[in-house]
Structure 1
Amino acid sequence: TVHGLADDLFQRSKVPMTKQEVRSVSMSKLQPKATDLIYDIGAGTGSCSIELALLASQGKVWAFERNPVAVELLGKNKALFGVDNLEVIAGEALENIKAMPAPDCVFVGGSGGDLCEMLDVIYAKNSDCRVVINAITVETLAEVAAYYKEHPAYSLEIVNVFVACSKHLGSYNLMMAQNPVYVMTALKKED
């Protein structure tokens, strides 16, 4: 299984979706293994959840989403791709992750303002957990940088991904820019 499925394979609406190119970079940074237990927090349409479930074919993925429209889309995309190792969890992620098994890796596409508390819960469960956080706002970037500055046991890598895709206009092609995305990877430092 290769990551970076085409965006048009997923059922969509106005619910946010991590686009193919950014999703591919994010999956590369997360490095999920076939047997991993994975959280996808702020799963949106489920594009990352689906790819994670395909990559962790012998593991399990929990997709946390509070938007009811997105939860419905997640269910449709789960059925479309036939990923039985994906469980959709509706509601606030912070409360729901407390009862879940310890994750091997976590992808955060949205946190609803509870990011630092969620990271504390995740690391209490597994201090070696691999974490990738995507953000489009400078405020989230600053919050993540500040969190990991206070947690020196982890190294933080920040990549700013800029993507422009071609769009046909008559007999010409224009390059249409997507939002730049910060892909932040946190890994525990070697002892």
Structure 2
Amino acid sequence: MSVTPEPAVHPVPPAVSVVGIGADGWAGLPETARSELIGAQVLIGGERQLGLLPPECAGRRVAWPSPLRPAVPGLLAAHAGSRIAVLASGDPMFYGIGRALTEVLGSAGLRILPHPSSVSYACARVGWPLEDTEVVTLVGRPPARLAAALHEGRRLLVLSADATTPGVVAALLREHGFGPSRMRVLEQLGGENEACAEGTADAWTRPPGDPLNVIAIECLSAPDVLRLGAVPGLPDQAYAHDGQLTKRHVRAATLGVLAPAPGELLWDIGGGSGSVAIEWMRTHPSCRAITVEHDPVRAQRITDNADRLGVPGLRVVTGRAPDCLNGLPTPDAVFIGGGLTAPGLLDACWEVLPAGGRLVANTVTLESEALLAGRYRRHGGDLVRLAVAHAVPVGGFTGWRQAMPVTQWSVRKPSIGPAAESSAEAPAEPSGDDR
């Protein structure tokens, strides 16, 4: 018996194409990209990008409104049923519109045709391996975030927001003790008007040039600049504070048990100077933190510290915990550095943590230490005492000055219900030689 083969199923091509375009415009596009643009009924892009297209791209031209991101769903819906081509600068999936479109349509709803990114062009021009080069974008982001990437000998590429960005970057480098750093401003990469301006941040006086630019920085610090490493435990001098500061060695130990991972959110309660939240965020660009501080003067100081240390995205909530915790996004970890005896605080933090979430609390008082000891017996975890002593002059000799010991409770929330937690047996008292 013969079997009639089923007809082949050809997938319907996506109605939206995303075409990367460079400063060289139409001339730099391959035939596949040109075909998509010529066949599109609707062409969406920035005014500059749309202006690069020739008359044979006859589709209706629609410029992105401002702000762009909130407008994406509505604009796509308004032209549903039409063949749409969206123009993007360079690679649409590298800090480009491709991300927002994918969130709305999914990857199956798009055909993406990338062009070499400005970063690829920049590395080719200055001779830097792309995999060894850190990229910081200041497009729609505060310049202060560049500060976290400043380390001796590092090579950075900064994606500029506009023509004024090089001057802003030079001023920031000087402010943070990296004035000797070499800067190269690469304009109109890949286009006919490509140009490069060069100098040090200390000597940078060039007026704003082309708005389409990338800045290549070779980081070099001044001899007396305070060294800020890439791991928790920055020098105490890095922070403005009024004495409410988790000191360097205790801070490093605290971040070690908080164990930040990319993309995670920390609640830092009793922020003081914000040091724990700031160093949590410095571990990875995607780490997020909310710090809670009831004193408005300290809250402003936390914001200033965060800007200076390169994490301007730190959210500061001015208020008293636990009252001000309602409505905050669920944390992956909670640090309590102050206010432990506030009624309901520990319970509120424990209850909001998801399974696997971490809670760390530090104290120097006997009253709070007793509270933590009780929680340790109930929930387990680790209860430790951290003691640090510093060598100081004693007459013509040297002796030790002991800092106040810090009691620290750290625990990971298990994947069991409250009833199972409370029914766990308390550990037996040691006897005989076990003592």
Calculate the TM-score normalised by the size of structure 1.
0.87
Q: Relative to structure 1, is the Cα distance of residues 95 and 6 closer, same or farther in structure 2, using a 3 angstrom cutoff?
A: same
Q: Which of 1 and 2 has higher RCO (CA within 8 Å, sep 6+)?
A: 1
The residue aligned with 1:25 is 253
Structure 2 residue 388 is matched with structure 1 residue 160: no
**Is contact 2:291-2:316 (8 Å) kept?**
yes
SS state of the match for residue 34, structure 1?
Answer: coil
Report the alpha carbon displacement of residue 57 of structure 1 after superposing the two structures with TM: 2.6
**Is contact 1:38-1:105 (8 Å) kept?**
yes
What do residues 46-104 of structure 1 show as CA deviations (whole Å, max 9, x unaligned)?
11121112125303100100122321221221121120331111111212211101100
Report the alpha carbon displacement of residue 190 of structure 1 after superposing the two structures with TM: 6.4
What do residues 10-46 of structure 1 show as CA deviations (whole Å, max 9, x unaligned)?
11224x1110000111111111112111100001011
Matches within 5 A, 1:21-100: 21-100=249-328
Structure 2 residue 404 is matched with structure 1 residue 179: yes
Letter of the 2:365 counterpart? T
SS state of the match for residue 380, structure 2?
Answer: strand
Letter of the 1:101 counterpart? P
Please give the alpha-carbon distance, in whole angstroms, between the structure 1 residues aligned to 2:384 and 2:377.
17
Please give the alpha-carbon distance, in whole angstroms, between the structure 2 residues aligned to 1:112 and 1:134.
9
**Is contact 1:37-1:59 (8 Å) kept?**
yes
| 1:130 aligns with one of 350, 358, 363 | 358
Report the alpha carbon displacement of residue 159 of structure 1 after superposing the two structures with TM: 0.9
**Is contact 2:236-2:248 (8 Å) kept?**
yes
Bigger mean CA deviation after superposition, 162-171 or 17-26:
162-171
The residue aligned with 1:146 is 374
Report the alpha carbon displacement of residue 184 of structure 1 after superposing the two structures with TM: 0.9
Calculate the TM-score normalised by the size of structure 2.
0.40
**Is contact 1:155-1:189 (8 Å) kept?**
no
| 1:8 aligns with one of 224, 230, 237 | 237
The answer to which structure has the higher strand fraction is 1
Report the alpha carbon displacement of residue 147 of structure 1 after superposing the two structures with TM: 3.3
How large is the RMSD of aligned CA atoms in angstroms? 2.0
Largest Rg, 1 or 2: 2
Please give the alpha-carbon distance, in whole angstroms, between the structure 1 residues aligned to 2:323 and 2:348.
10
